[in-house]
């Protein structure tokens, strides 16, 4: 798998899964947890660095996953919302690699993420001329998404339960996209878990 030098990756996996009632990071899909699947996907690349951000249910999750080449960090402020993990992941990435030029953010609850999808997003970013490359699904933009270093200061200002989409919308003229239709499905509720199980049985 090919990536530019000094591109980092952060898996955001710190949430409490309050709507589901148990850690969605550990929901099993095709024999492995959603988080483990995402870790396995990024392990095929040489991101510098590769980070997993945990928070709620961290002990249970740590006992279940194989981190491979990724570093795992605990965000003690996870309850603030996803913005705290975006900031935390970026800060830790820059501590590990002060020369980092781009950062890829991923979620742990998109079962259809794959190394091919990640490679396509990276290729789109590398061949384009914009400072953001986002995924598109359901006529919307979202993650996985890549941000150039010029946006690191803005990522560090995000607050509360506001994701990186806020920055995408602020810079909508500087966003290039790659279609990831299956990214529209994520796991938030027990109905989603049952739907995923049904799909896998087909």
Residue 114 sits in a domain of what CATH number? 3.90.550.10
Q: Is residue 106 part of a domain?
A: yes
At 30 the pLDDT is 87
Q: Is residue 159 part of a domain?
A: yes
Asked if the model's pLDDT at residue 80 lies above 70, the reply is yes
Asked if the model's pLDDT at residue 3 lies above 70, the reply is yes
Instruction: Report if pTM > 0.85.
Output: yes
Instruction: Calculate mean pLDDT across residues 101-108.
Output: 97
Asked if 124 and 176 count as a contact pair (C-beta separation under 8 A), the reply is: yes
Asked if 37 and 113 count as a contact pair (C-beta separation under 8 A), the reply is: yes
Q: Edge-to-edge, what's the strand order for the sheet holding 132-137?
A: 71-74, 50-54, 7-13, 102-107, 140-148, 132-137, 175-179
At 162 the pLDDT is 80
How many domains is the chain partitioned into structurally? 1
Exposed/middle/buried for residue 29 (C-beta within 10 Å: 0-12, 13-18, 19+): middle
Residue-wise pLDDT tens digits, 31-71? 899 999 999 999 999 999 999 999 999 999 999 999 999 99
Q: Is residue 1 part of a domain?
A: no
Q: Is residue 125 part of a domain?
A: yes
Domain containing residue 74: 7-201
pLDDT-based confidence at residue 201 (cuts at 50, 70, 90): low
Asked if 39 and 72 count as a contact pair (C-beta separation under 8 A), the reply is: no
Q: Is residue 115 part of a domain?
A: yes
Q: Is residue 45 part of a domain?
A: yes
| Other CB atoms within 10 Å distance of the CB of residue 191 | 11
Residue-wise pLDDT tens digits, 108-142? 999 999 999 999 999 999 999 999 999 999 989 99
- The whole-angstrom separation of Cα 15 and Cα 49 is 22
What would the DSSP string read from start to end of 37-59?
A: HHHHHHTTS--SSEEEEEBTBHH
Buried b (16+ CB within 10 A) or exposed e, 37-62: bbbbbbbebebbbbbbbbbbbbeebe
Asked if 165 and 141 count as a contact pair (C-beta separation under 8 A), the reply is: yes
Q: Is residue 123 part of a domain?
A: yes
Asked if the model's pLDDT at residue 202 lies above 70, the reply is no
Q: Is residue 2 part of a domain?
A: no
Instruction: Calculate mean pLDDT across residues 88-116.
Output: 97
Asked if 101 and 146 count as a contact pair (C-beta separation under 8 A), the reply is: no
At 112 the pLDDT is 95
Residue-wise pLDDT tens digits, 145-183? 999 999 999 999 999 888 899 999 999 999 999 999 999
């Amino acid at each position: 798998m090919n990536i530019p030098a000094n591109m980092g990756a952060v898996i955001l996996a710190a949430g409490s899964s309050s709507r589901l009632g148990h850690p969605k990071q550990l929901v099993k899909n095709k024999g492995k947890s959603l988080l483990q699947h995402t870790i396995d996907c990024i392990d095929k690349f040489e991101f510098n660095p590769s980070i997993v951000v945990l928070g709620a249910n961290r002990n249970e999750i740590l006992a279940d996953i194989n981190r491979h080449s990724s570093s795992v960090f605990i965000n003690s402020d996870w309850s603030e919302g996803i913005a705290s993990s975006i900031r935390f992941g970026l800060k830790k990435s820059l501590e590990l690699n002060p020369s980092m030029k781009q950062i890829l953010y991923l979620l742990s609850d998109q079962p259809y993420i794959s190394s091919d999808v990640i490679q396509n997003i990276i290729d789109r970013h590398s061949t384009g001329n914009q400072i953001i490359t986002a995924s598109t699904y359901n006529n919307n933009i979202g993650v996985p998404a890549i941000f150039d270093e010029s946006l690191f200061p803005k990522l560090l200002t995000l607050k509360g339960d506001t994701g990186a989409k806020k920055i995408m919308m602020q810079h909508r003229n500087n966003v290039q996209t790659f279609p990831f239709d299956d990214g529209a499905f994520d796991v938030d509720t027990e109905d989603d878990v049952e739907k995923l199980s049904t799909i896998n049985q087909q």
